A and B are shown apart, each in its own frame.
Chain A
Amino acid sequence: MSDDDPKSRPPSPTRRKFLLTSGSGVAASLVAGYVPALVKDAAAESDSAPTSTAPTIEGSVPITLRINGKDHQLRIDPRTTLLDCIRETVVLTGTKKGCDHGQCGACTVHVNGKRVLSCLNLALMHDGEEITTVEGLGTPEAMHPMQASFLACDAYQCGYCTSGQIMSAVALLKEPCGPDDASVKELMSGNICRCGAYANIVEAIQQVRKNAVP
């Protein structure tokens, strides 16, 4: 089973980078009109004039979204959900699209410190608000304690629901929640895991709660 050995995998490009590159290329060539126009990344180009080479879509509107402490000046279709804006326009793909109807929790992000479902929000509703995605929690080198705990407790299998689980779990730390596992399960019931890693997810959360300074 050498394929399963991480060391045997080619070092680069990563699967994610490959999919991002090839995926966006296909999307651009097939449905160019539907690719939301990224006008300007304010932080990256703060001293240049707001210019855009992307086509302006009829009916698109300007918005400034503050994600993980960084302002993004964008033009989007008013129908764009916060989820689609985060993933497709700002290209932060840690936030996942599961059901797209508020039934699975994979798209959980924080708005002004509270957990919400980004699939049932329009991006336009959050102009100027503080949005945090899983990319804003920590880095592989400096993980958030909850990310480290999920890793230590093996709190996932396929990983698709994991960013939503972690975003929910981090928010839960600041919510009224009883000390027992049942209370954690109740407050995590909006995050579905089809692999069934629930027992380890609860364990990961309880580890962080036990170690937290009261």
Chain B
Amino acid sequence: MHIFEFIRPADPAAAIAAAAQSKTAQQGADVRFMGGGTTLIDLMKLNVETPDRVLDINRLPLDKIEATPDGGLKVGATVRNSDLAHHPKVQKDYLVLSQAILNGASAQIRNMATVSGNLLQRTRCVYFRDTAMSCNKREPGSGCPAITGHNRTLAILGASEHCIATNPSDMCVAMAALEATIYVQGPKGPRAIPFGDFHLLPANTPHRETSLEPGDLITHVTLPPPVVGSRQLYLKLRDRASYEFALASAAVVLTIVGGNITRARIALGGVGTKPWRSPEAERALTGKTATDVNFRQAAEAALRGAKPQSENGFKIELAKRCLAHALKMASTS
């Protein structure tokens, strides 16, 4: 592991000032915030991440879950995944988020991992994690051996000729469907980032994964007021029954009135280079009856742009069935 200086900033302002000195907030950052450590320490051991300074944000006052004035929920950056998943308000009003988190990782990791860290979770692509291999995300311009190599678990949506790495988060899929907002405090002040604008597609800059700049500290995430009467579900399909990343997952938030779908929010996991909101599926469902045929049509719409890699063509049908089944389960719950 690269040697680093361990710093515990006294307050968010000190953390931001220290992080602002980093040349980037993306891959290769020389200053990193440390939350639970479950991604960062793993990648530091692999020498994929080699920060010179590590800023421990765990004792900053960013660990609260509070109601917002409009009836939504404000979740602090260092709230642990397990605390969020088990929070009574989340279990009652944002069930899809609780389910998504509890479908991810293990109990130990959920006790450690923070909300902001989960937003910044890195891909599990084996080429990204192995410094002996080329990787455009890790070393821009070095090439992507995954395209012709082991890519069974990689992306079928949002990939480019430079990167096909999957975003591995479950929490982010639910937050995309719930239309969360990410709040950042940076050297130029605070700003709010709509969930869909936070993660970037790889295009020809796969080393840029988020819209964060040096010194940007995620302070909290807000969830909009719950949709009264909505039916929510997270369905995750994977090689093992537990403690495994998704091959395909679906977060669905449906409002059904008299058998008609009046509102749909859909996001997919395990298949995209970012948490994959599907406006195509939402359009296909809105105003339709809650039937198997319409669920399947929504799934077809969601995967219309999918492009298989050499080893993962099965994911297209798997993701369709995942979404159609999630819709059926949610509508009959």
- Chain A interface (Cβ within 8 Å of chain B)? 59, 61, 77-79, 81, 100-102, 105, 108, 114-117, 119-122, 124-125, 168, 171-172, 175-176, 185-191
Across the interface, A116 reaches (CB within 8 A) one of B5, B6, B44, B112, namely B112
- Taking the complex as formed, is B41 at the interface, i.e. its CB lies under 8 A from any CB of chain A? yes
Residue with the greatest number of chain A CB neighbours at <10 A, chosen from B3, B58, B107, B241 = B107
In the complex with contacts A78-B3, A185-B242, A186-B242, A115-B108 CB distance below 8 A: yes
Cβ-closest chain B residue relative to A119: B41
10 closest A-B pairs by beta carbon, nearest first, are: A190-B106, A189-B242, A189-B243, A78-B6, A114-B111, A79-B1, A117-B108, A120-B41, A124-B6, A120-B38
In the assembled complex, how far is the CB of residue B118 from the closest CB belonging to chain A, in whole angstroms? 14
The distance in angstroms between the C-alpha atoms of A177 and B186, with both chains bound, is: 40
- Taking the complex as formed, is B263 at the interface, i.e. its CB lies under 8 A from any CB of chain A? no
Docked-complex contact B42 and A101, CB < 8 angstroms: yes
List 12 interface pairs A-B (beta carbons < 8 Å), by A numbering.
A78-B6, A79-B4, A108-B108, A116-B111, A120-B42, A122-B37, A122-B54, A125-B58, A186-B242, A189-B243, A190-B106, A190-B107
Cβ-closest chain B residue relative to A79: B1
The distance in angstroms between the C-alpha atoms of A116 and B5, with both chains bound, is: 24
- Chain B interface (Cβ within 8 Å of chain A)? 1, 3-6, 34, 36-38, 41-42, 44-45, 54, 56, 58, 82, 86, 105-109, 111-112, 241-243
In the assembled complex, how far is the CB of residue A149 from the closest CB belonging to chain B, in whole angstroms? 19
Q: 4 extra interchain contacts, Cβ-Cβ under 8 A, other than A115-B107, A190-B108?
A: A79-B44, A116-B112, A117-B112, A189-B241
Across the interface, B5 reaches (CB within 8 A) one of A78, A168, A191, namely A78
Residue with the greatest number of chain B CB neighbours at <10 A, chosen from A102, A108, A115 = A102
Query: Which A residues are in CB contact (< 8 Å) with B86?
Result: 176
Docked-complex contact A59 and B3, CB < 8 angstroms: yes
The distance in angstroms between the C-alpha atoms of A100 and B108, with both chains bound, is: 14
Docked-complex contact B34 and A125, CB < 8 angstroms: yes
Query: Which A residues are in CB contact (< 8 Å) with B45?
Result: 100-101
The distance in angstroms between the C-alpha atoms of A191 and B111, with both chains bound, is: 14
In the complex with contacts A101-B42, A101-B45, A102-B42, A168-B108 CB distance below 8 A: yes
Query: Which B residues are in CB contact (< 8 Å) with A124?
Result: 6, 56
Docked-complex contact B112 and A120, CB < 8 angstroms: yes
Cβ-closest chain B residue relative to A112: B111
Query: Which B residues are in CB contact (< 8 Å) with A78?
Result: 3-6, 54
Query: Which A residues are in CB contact (< 8 Å) with B34?
Result: 122, 125
The distance in angstroms between the C-alpha atoms of A186 and B242, with both chains bound, is: 6
Query: Which A residues are in CB contact (< 8 Å) with B112?
Result: 116-117, 120-121
The distance in angstroms between the C-alpha atoms of A171 and B112, with both chains bound, is: 14
Query: Which A residues are in CB contact (< 8 Å) with B54?
Result: 78, 122
Query: Which A residues are in CB contact (< 8 Å) with B41?
Result: 81, 119-122
Docked-complex contact A120 and B107, CB < 8 angstroms: no
In the assembled complex, how far is the CB of residue B301 from the closest CB belonging to chain A, in whole angstroms? 33
Query: Which A residues are in CB contact (< 8 Å) with B105?
Result: 190
In the assembled complex, how far is the CB of residue B58 from the closest CB belonging to chain A, in whole angstroms? 6
Query: Which B residues are in CB contact (< 8 Å) with A168?
Result: 107-108
In the complex with contacts A102-B42, A115-B111, A79-B3 CB distance below 8 A: yes
Residue with the greatest number of chain B CB neighbours at <10 A, chosen from A77, A119, A186 = A186
Query: Which B residues are in CB contact (< 8 Å) with A79?
Result: 1, 3-4, 44
The distance in angstroms between the C-alpha atoms of A122 and B54, with both chains bound, is: 11
Query: Which B residues are in CB contact (< 8 Å) with A185?
Result: 242
Residue with the greatest number of chain A CB neighbours at <10 A, chosen from B6, B86, B108, B243 = B108
Cβ-closest chain B residue relative to A182: B241
Docked-complex contact B37 and A171, CB < 8 angstroms: no
Docked-complex contact A172 and B3, CB < 8 angstroms: no
The distance in angstroms between the C-alpha atoms of A116 and B110, with both chains bound, is: 9
In the assembled complex, how far is the CB of residue B99 from the closest CB belonging to chain A, in whole angstroms? 12
The distance in angstroms between the C-alpha atoms of A66 and B108, with both chains bound, is: 20
